[in-house]
Structure 1
Amino acid sequence: MTRESNEQLRQVLTLKQNYERLLIASNEQSLREVSYETLQQVIEELVETWYSKIDSLVYLRLSLESQNHIVYFQAEKGERNDFSELHPVSGQIVVHEDMDSALAPRFVRLEAYTGAEDSQQKELEQSLFQLLLVNVRGLAQRCLHQHQALELRFMESEMELARRIQSMLVPKEQLTLAGLCARAVYAPFTYVGGDYIDYIRVNERYTCFIVADVSGHGLPASLLASGIRTAVRAVLQKSWSPDEVLTRLNQLLYDDLSKTRSYVTMLVALYDAEEHALLLSRAGHPRPLYLSATQKMVLPCVGGVGLGLLADSTYKVEKVPLKEEGFLLLYTDGFVESGRKKALRCIHTWLQDLSLLMDKHERESENAMDGVESYIWEMTREGQQTDDMSVLILQFQSTSEKPFPEIDAVTAPPASL
């Protein structure tokens, strides 16, 4: 081997050793903890490391850029002079195909000029600069993933808070009056839901029961449901006849619902303790189930259109005397859908099953209200829930029977009339 060949081999080995040290130093930097707050500093340190350890490097520029070459950030070393006699190196690598912002740039771009003349050195430098692009892309992606993970945890925390707030607004305790008791069953499809279920003592004579279903799911529907709860309490300050309640609610909510392309179905039931009867009005809502010793049926009450669909909607009211002991179930459509097995359980199947359940509890002298609630939860768990599910169970005595024993209950504050 000639002296010239030995010298070339020595230069190549030295070059490779320098690049190995460069890779070690670069990897140490790229493995550091990084965030959006420190990303630019880490990139600047990488550029400084490469510029100082590649002897032939005259100029190096790394930038985070958009699809349209908008530079979000750049780090450079060296002076921009006449590079006509130098070897140019350039490249770019995609950070994220579907995002393009200062926090999630589309590209990492590299521009460099070196004094390398040997083809082997040029080839090695090209590979090394490509590795630098990969390292910087990895840093940017780690920041993005970290940011997305933080956002996800924050969103989950916010949703959990929303779930707790909404849960506090759903009646938890059984309401017991002289001739009627009520219990709410509520299961949102996601963290929060668009169902609204409530009972409100208007005064000593009247108690208002409401079940409503906001179109859609999740947080938007939940926000609307919370707004409806506030609107209901405002309306009950002046009106408590179910048809007037629905009419006034539609007037209050129409503009907001139409802007958001939403609507609300609702059933309002007003219990008259003196007459032991219910006054019912519906706005596009499913008809309630009525079960007594002599009648098991879908109550044939007239209904109007949902709230938010027509600006001038009016509603009718119907009276249901409670002459014998029984149940009235007010529900959202998720109640029927939650009973799915292989096919949708029709409402008549619910009537049949609940009738058998009532007969069983009467024979065994068990608490029928507990039995009905347990059965609803059992069917919900057995099926696959596809919507928010709410059921308001009203159990009533006949006019001749002994009243329900009074118990302490947490109820909504009475309206000032």
Structure 2
Amino acid sequence: MNRTYFSAARLEQKYEEQLALTRKSNEQLSHVLELKQNYEHVLIASNEQSLREVTYETLQQVIEELVETWFTKMDSLVYMRLSLESQNQTVYYQTERGEKNRLDVLHQVSEQIVANEKLDSALTPRYVSLEAYTSAEDIQQKELEQSLFQLLLINVRGLAQRCLQQHQALELRFMESEMELARQIQSTLVPKEQLTLERLRARAVYAPFTYVGGDYVDYIRVDERYTCFIVADVSGHGLPASLLASGIRSAVRAVLQKSWSPDEVLTRLNQLLYDDLSKTRSFVTMLVALYDADEHALLLSRAGHPRPIYMSATQKMVLPCVGGVGLGLLPDSTYPLEKVPLLEEGFLLLYTDGLMESGRKELVRDTHSWLHGFSLLMDEHGNVLEHLMDGVESYIWEVTRQGRQTDDLSVLILYFQSYSAQPFPDIDVSTAPAARL
């Protein structure tokens, strides 16, 4: 009897113990389910916040709302501070919720992630940091909250990166717009129409390497007798070279008010530009040719610039004219003057070194290849002026476009009659205006 009673008591005790364990397990399960639902609300709400359109102007507001959502939905969260910081822990911005000195604080969390590895400013912080205090006791809950805090940092970093990307996209569009405007302005300064004089015609070919270039090509009617032709190349590429080229254009016109001879033009330009070019560590190569209509001759001076190509029935050559150094390299440089009588019909090419650096290497290696190609053109077109000038321009474009352009390209094509030949037929020059001082 005693043994039977003992067995029943043991069974009842085990039943109570098992029931207690089941109740505890059910309570834990219920708590876990409650936590899961609560954290799902956190994730849904934070995703909605993080997908909002954000700019630098609204970034802090969106972060405030995101932190508020996190703090409200996480029941165990007692205190939270989120901050955007520099590499040396300078706080650019921070937001806080709750009180960290409460008695129910059981767990402290500190997290930090890199927001930008290269930049470090109030707009593009180096780090996103978080400090949190919770009342969580369960290990699984602590681990889950740790992951959620890391997710919050990732969301905030994503917002900051989206702002940077949007800002950079706006800056790029603005820069492209500015560069396009600069290209249009520079394009208006390059001669578009053919210049027609009594015994000479001129045409410009111009192709910048980027939106804008550092080449300067121009022809300027000084008076009824003299016309000045200029081809120049500023060291470098892009906008800085373009700005210098535009300044040189103004300087040339100022110098031509008093000096026409090419050697004097280059000397005065060097004196005028030397200080500015030295400060920017830049230099300019330039060739100035002055056409004398009365003598039907060209006066030439070079400042470190490529020698012109001369083509006629009896002479096909690179003119062996001497020259001085580029503008901006020596303060007292001088520039020899040479005279080229135009005794027979032909054409002269004044160009920048981009002409020699364009096209396929196996097709165009040096001036000899160009001389050969131009000789074939002269044989093909003979004395038909318009066909020859069109052929020369087309040939230049054809060759240079077969390869990758690596530099600005400018060419002035000067076609001239022989000294004894009849002047060119009269043409309506109103459709081909020449620049004047």
Q: d(CA) in 2 for partners of 1:86 and 1:332?
A: 76
Once the two structures are superposed, residues 320-343 of structure 1 have per-residue CA deviations (whole angstroms, 9 ceiling, x without a partner) of: 110110000000000111133436
The alignment's C-alpha RMSD in Å is: 1.4
The one-letter amino acid paired with 1:326 is: G
Kindly tell me the number of residue pairs found equivalent between the two proteins: 414
Cross-structure match for 2:141 = 121
- Corresponding residue of 1:97: 117
The 8 Å contact of residues 78 and 105 in structure 2, kept in 1 or not, is answered as no
What is the Cα deviation at residue 80 of structure 1?
A: 4.2
**Does the 8 Å contact 1:341/1:384 carry over to 2?**
no
* 1:307 corresponds to which of 304, 308, 327: 327
Give the CA deviation at 1:2.
Answer: 1.7
Deviations 1:376-410 (A, max 9, x none): 00011112211101000000001121212333223
Structure 2 portions without partners, runs of 5+: 1-20
Q: How much has 1:274 moved relative to structure 2?
A: 0.5
What secondary structure does 1:110 align onto? strand
Identify which of 401, 406, 413 aligns with 2:436: 413
Provide, for residues 19-52 of structure 1, a one-character-per-residue CA deviation record: whole Å limited to 9, x for no partner.
Answer: 0011101100100011111110000001111111
Larger radius of gyration: 2
Which residue in the other structure is 2:180 paired with? 160
| Contact residue 341 and residue 382 of structure 1 kept, 8 A | no
- Cα distance in 1 for partners of 2:152, 2:203 equals 65
| 1:336/1:252 CA distance change after superposition, 3 Å | same
Distance 1:332 1:83 in 2: 80
2:18 aligned partner: none
1:257-312 CA-to-partner distances (Å, cap 9, x unmatched) read 00010000000000000110000000000000000111000001110000000001
Distance 2:333 2:201 in 1: 32
Question: Using the alignment, how far apart are the partners of 1:339 and 1:288 within structure 2?
Answer: 19
Matched, 1:253 2:273: yes
SS at match of 2:248: helix
Match for residue 154 of structure 2 among 129, 134, 159: 134
2:307 is matched with 287
Question: Does residue 238 of structure 1 match 2:279?
Answer: no
Who is 1:378 aligned against?
398
Contact 2:215 2:233 in 1 (8 A): yes
| 1:389-400 equivalences in 2 (<5 Å) | 389-400=409-420
* TM score, norm. by length of structure 2: 0.92
> Could you list the per-position Cα deviations for residues 167-200 of structure 1 after superposition, in whole angstroms to 9, with x for gaps in the alignment?
1100000000001000000001111110000000
- Aligned partner letter, 1:164: Q
Is 1:50 matched up with 2:70? yes
Deviates more, 1:237-246 or 1:394-403: 394-403
Identical columns (%) = 79
Q: State yes or no: 1:356 paired with 2:379.
A: no
Give the secondary structure class of the aligned counterpart of 2:300.
strand
- Post-superposition offset of 1:81: 2.4
Which stretch has the larger CA shift, 101-110 or 365-374? 365-374
Taking the aligned partners of 1:126 and 1:220, their CA distance within structure 2 comes to 52
Whole-Å separation in 1 of the counterparts to 2:174 and 2:100:
45
Which moved further from structure 2: 169-178 or 358-367? Answer: 358-367
Name whichever of 279-288 and 365-374 sits farther off: 365-374
Cα distance in 2 for partners of 1:62, 1:104 equals 16
Residue 185 of structure 1 pairs with residue 214 of structure 2? no
Find the counterpart in structure 1 of residue 10 from structure 2. Answer: none
